[in-house]
Amino acid sequence: MAESSAAQSRTGNSFLEVYKRSQGFYTRVGTAIGAGILILSGGDFLHSQLAFDSNAVWTQWLQIGIPLVVVLIFAVLVWWLVGVYRRTCDFMIATEGEMKKVSWSSRSELIGSTKVVILFTAAMAIILFCVDVIFMTFFNSIDVLRGASPMEVLFGS
């Protein structure tokens, strides 16, 4: 009995045992939730694409069974990657450790930066709009553009 536990500790975890359970918890859970949303969306898409012409019972089983099998296969794959496979688990543990070292901006700095970005974007939109009107007027005056004048285009008369 002791020999088999020593062999297991050398080779790694069993399929159902989570590798380094207490480390990288939030990164693993977030990754699993994101992957789960993608997997369920893919299963729903696959279900909607499997439309058969027949109303036989076996077609309904196929329409439900195939997406279910695909979802289960990908769910097991995500479980293995997020909970058991050492390389991805160590990567997620290291990622969470590095994220704890990051110096995050304060709420007031974040709000101030957001205001600057919004104002700069609005100012650039206004400037580009004015430049576009100037070019429309210029090209209309030299007969490169034919059609309505810029004021008719902008304000519709």
- In this structure, are 111 and 69 located in the same domain? no
Domain of residue 122: give its range. 107-155
- In this structure, are 136 and 75 located in the same domain? no
Q: What are φ and ψ of residue 38, in 5° steps?
A: -65, -40
pTM (whole model) above 0.85:
no
* DSSP strands (E only) in the chain: none
pLDDT of residue 2: 46
Residue 75 near residue 39 (C-beta atoms within 8 A): yes
Give the chain's residues under pLDDT 70: 1-15, 148, 150, 156-157
The domain tally of the chain equals 2
Residues 37, 41, 47: CA angle, nearest 5 degrees: 145
What letter represents residue 148's amino acid?
A
